[in-house]
Structure 1
Amino acid sequence: MRINQLRDRSVRIRHTITRFTRGGAWAAVLSASQQRNLTLFFYDGLFSAASDKIILTYLTIYLLSLGITRQQIGFLSSISSFSNALLLLPAAFLVERSGRRKEITTTSAIISRLMVFLMALLPFFLLGTSALVWIMLALVIIREAANNFAYPGWIALIGDIVPIEGRGRYFGSRNFIMGLAGMLVTLLMGEFITRIGEPLGYQVAFLVATLLAVFAIFFFNRIEDPLAVEKVDRQPDDAVSASFLDNLLSIFSSFKKHNQFLRFIIFVAVWNFTIQISGPFFTVHMAETLHFTAAMIGVVAVTNTAANMLVQRQFGLLADKWGDRTVSIVLAFLIPLVPLIWGLWVRVYWHAIAVEILSGLLWGGFNLVHFNSLLTQTPEDQRARFSAYYQIIVTLSMALGAAFGSFLIPVIEFVGVTLASTIGRLIAAVIFLVLVKETSTLEQTSPD
């Protein structure tokens, strides 16, 4: 009797977990292959988030420990963004021509993770040399470039995997588990780095990030592309060149046909420019000015992630009920408080924790609804191309913002760049309110 009860309880637990990986009961009406894709994408997100959180949290202070300067960090962000922008359109055109969205995304992800692996190994051989600094900077740039080359194929694939009627709930569940995974590895790695010391602690952390990424790639590679192309006829090189030129010329007409998308990316450009005025310097400020250890910086990051997790499902439900635009407007006007508080108030450890709780609550909701907005702002049959347009604007505006911030920080210091970022974010919020309207997924249009 007791064995049967345990078996029944085990079945119920498995059923609950499986339903959670699909975003809730709404997915029960989907086909078996659709449900399987949602589950695989869920686990891909879990391991990707754990890997990426290690890199995003500790990369800057890892580079600082190897002798890279504050200004080099700022210019690195700028150069990475410019180089990324150059690859997005070729990646989108390759996706459109080949149809191999998953394969392109997976290959790019492998290259990106290989760069992380090399970042972990190089100090064993080149520590203390000037060559190490420049090679590490190059690896960071290549990693970012590979991530961005994957983006058009990834966004096009995800738009077909996750049905629009359940995106808020699904990404709420997925983002929650991603936040939990990121929080746990950040705490563990921060404590580990502090105990082991630098740079060895960072090297081991990046090796762990590489291993987690292997699991993420394994799950993502098992996803079935709904539009998979079994065989793609290879065209002559002159036809490829002509098609590429035609695609470039069609950019302007694409914008003319999709005026709402154009208004959306105007907001995106201003928003990301102003964010990056101060964005690269928060971790630097904690390490160099406030003298936080790696463990302390890890805890600050975890508080942000924990707050982020608390609101994912709630904002997902609100977005499905009220619309992405309404939620975005409220959050866009509140987010400028974050750099303002950082610049004017944060002086000790608990200050940083408090403001990052606020930041996590606000950004957790905004990132969710903003991603949903991107999926609805792009025409279904040209999602790879339009996501490339979007990401080009993001990377170029971030590059200009980081370069502008790097120019400003020696003159007006950290407080000055946070105030500049605050004002810019408020301007961007007004632009969103005026220009961006609620929309459903755009109808398909034939490419020009």
Structure 2
Amino acid sequence: MAEEQREEADIQRPRELYAYHATSSFATDISMSYFSYFAVRLGASFELLAWMQSLNNLLPNTLQHFWGWISDRRVHRAFWIIIGSVLGGFALWLLSQAQTPEEVLALLVLYSASLSLVQPTWAALQGDWIPAGRRGRVLSRFHVVGGMAGLIGSLVALWFVYNSGNETADGFRPLFVMAAAATALGGLILVRVPYRDPGDIPDEQQTEQARIAHSNAFQGFVRVQMVYTLLMSLIWPLFAVLLIRVVGATNTQLVIFSVLGAAAEMAFQPLMGRLVDRVGPLQVMFLSRIGFAVLPFVYVLWQDLWVYYALQVVLFGPCFSAFLVSTNTLILDLAPSAERAGYFSYYNTRIGITTFTGALIGGHLAGFLEGHLESTAQAIYWVFVISGAGRLLASFPYLRLTSPRRYPASLRLLDRLAEAQRPWRR
């Protein structure tokens, strides 16, 4: 066992893994961060934005169940990522040519299908090359690399949008073209990654009792996460409308908003990675959920772009980086080595269904309230308040979650709350 641990500690990850993550993050941050702004500039309604956001949540995730199973059993994982990346690049190029919101919706379906091949397979491929005791640090390193590439993408987007000289959808079109090239190129980079058989990777779960404990912990986490993301996704299709039609942000200001978020996320990744490895993912996840619960209230109470800029740095960035590292670490902790893609696809499928439902409800509720209240700002206000209150209440079940894996230290108060029994059960 000690020998296996030393071998795992000495894993040398191929540089191509980091290169792929960098190109993928560059493509995402230079394009998909702006697809809702692009649609609003083309004249999309609340309801159409809801369908765009919902399908973008649902399709990449629900289709993963099949591809995750295939990835765990057939061919080199990188093969599926390459196919998905080429297909995604083609979809992004077509998206750059879209002239109506309806065309954007149709092309998002194609792009989402490509993501379903990539997401669970990429998460599993990362897990194949990360030793158990260093998941937080290594994942944060991946996210720092991705964050830097994404920040570069955001700065490139800022330069193009600023120099486009207009406030129409045309200012965003070059971004989708560059994203298409980066997406396809990123997939081809993985041709050089050697095959690592998941069945040969040392697995911490040896007994049937341990497998059951890990499975039960995973199921509990998924259920709690589904409730939270349902409430969280209510405001997703409305945010572009808030920034453009209520606050009055220009295209350049929209890109600056995204740049600040990307920079803050990257800056906090190393800290969150070390924190997860020290206290465990559940405590860090709970704190990020409380932070996300505060955001909707501030957005609607202080509708000022400078306040939004500050929130990107002091609240959204830390919370989002904590969410990324803690979620992936927890799933890798609980998933058997040979079933990692299946676990990620199971999780993403259920989260996709709930966020599809939440975004659809939020968009249609805002459309109904806009007609009833005759005010776009008031419609957005009430949906944001509902989402914020729901997020706050849905944060506390995270305290009840447990993980069979132990970490060197923990936040004592949160551990006590998580392990406390209700008085009537004592």
TM-score (norm 2): 0.82
**Aligned equivalents of 1:329 and 1:61: distance in 2?**
30
Residue in 1 that maps onto 2:305: 349
Residue in 2 that maps onto 1:40: 16
Pairing 1:272-283 to 2, within 5 Å after superposition: 272-283=229-240
Structure 1 residues 96, 318: CA separation in 2 closer, same or farther (over 3 Å shift)? Answer: closer
1:89-116 CA-partner distances (Å, limit 9, x unpaired) = 2212322342432211221121112100
Structure 1 residues 304, 413: CA separation in 2 closer, same or farther (over 3 Å shift)? Answer: same
SS at match of 2:248: coil
Note if contact 1:157-1:225 (Cα within 8 Å) is conserved in structure 2. Answer: no
**Aligned equivalents of 2:319 and 2:34: distance in 1?**
22
**Aligned equivalents of 1:50 and 1:267: distance in 2?**
31
Residue in 2 that maps onto 1:74: 50
Structure 1 residue 277 displacement after superposition: 0.5
Note if contact 1:408-1:417 (Cα within 8 Å) is conserved in structure 2. Answer: yes
Structure 1 residues 395, 285: CA separation in 2 closer, same or farther (over 3 Å shift)? Answer: same
Structure 1 residue 79 displacement after superposition: 3.0
Note if contact 2:81-2:121 (Cα within 8 Å) is conserved in structure 1. Answer: yes
Residue in 2 that maps onto 1:429: 395
Aligned residues: 379
Query: Residue 35 of structure 1 aligns to which amino acid in structure 2?
Result: Q
Query: Residue 229 of structure 2 aligns to which amino acid in structure 1?
Result: N
**Residue segments in structure 1 that go unaligned for 5+ positions in a row:** 1-25, 230-253, 442-448
Note if contact 1:100-1:228 (Cα within 8 Å) is conserved in structure 2. Answer: no
Q: 2:193 aligns with which of 223, 227, 233?
A: 223
Query: Residue 77 of structure 1 aligns to which amino acid in structure 2?
Result: Q
Residue in 2 that maps onto 1:202: 172
Question: What RMSD in Å do the two structures reach over aligned CA positions?
Answer: 2.5
Residue in 2 that maps onto 1:15: none
Note if contact 2:157-2:175 (Cα within 8 Å) is conserved in structure 1. Answer: yes
Residue in 2 that maps onto 1:144: 112
**Aligned equivalents of 1:228 and 1:365: distance in 2?**
27
Structure 1 residues 365, 152: CA separation in 2 closer, same or farther (over 3 Å shift)? Answer: closer
Query: Residue 419 of structure 1 aligns to which amino acid in structure 2?
Result: V
Structure 1 residues 256, 440: CA separation in 2 closer, same or farther (over 3 Å shift)? Answer: closer
Structure 1 residue 194 displacement after superposition: 3.5
Structure 1 residues 28, 276: CA separation in 2 closer, same or farther (over 3 Å shift)? Answer: same
Residue in 2 that maps onto 1:408: 365
Structure 1 residue 174 displacement after superposition: 2.2
Residue in 2 that maps onto 1:263: 220
**Aligned equivalents of 2:88 and 2:212: distance in 1?**
31
Q: 1:94 aligns with which of 64, 70, 88?
A: 70
Structure 1 residues 184, 257: CA separation in 2 closer, same or farther (over 3 Å shift)? Answer: closer
Structure 1 residues 66, 168: CA separation in 2 closer, same or farther (over 3 Å shift)? Answer: same
Residue in 2 that maps onto 1:327: 284
Structure 1 residue 86 displacement after superposition: 4.1
1:55-75 CA-partner distances (Å, limit 9, x unpaired) = 222111112222322320112
1:348-381 CA-partner distances (Å, limit 9, x unpaired) = 2211101222211222122211211121122222
Residue in 2 that maps onto 1:185: 153
**Aligned equivalents of 1:35 and 1:263: distance in 2?**
34
Note if contact 2:214-2:403 (Cα within 8 Å) is conserved in structure 1. Answer: no
Q: 1:174 aligns with which of 136, 142, 162?
A: 142
SS at match of 1:335: helix
**Aligned equivalents of 2:73 and 2:139: distance in 1?**
29
Q: Percent of pairs identical after alignment?
A: 21
Structure 1 residues 206, 255: CA separation in 2 closer, same or farther (over 3 Å shift)? Answer: farther
**Residue segments in structure 2 that go unaligned for 5+ positions in a row:** 200-210, 370-377, 407-426
**Aligned equivalents of 1:74 and 1:84: distance in 2?**
16
Note if contact 1:92-1:384 (Cα within 8 Å) is conserved in structure 2. Answer: yes
Residue in 2 that maps onto 1:58: 34
Residue in 2 that maps onto 1:11: none
Query: Residue 93 of structure 1 aligns to which amino acid in structure 2?
Result: W
Query: Residue 283 of structure 2 aligns to which amino acid in structure 1?
Result: T
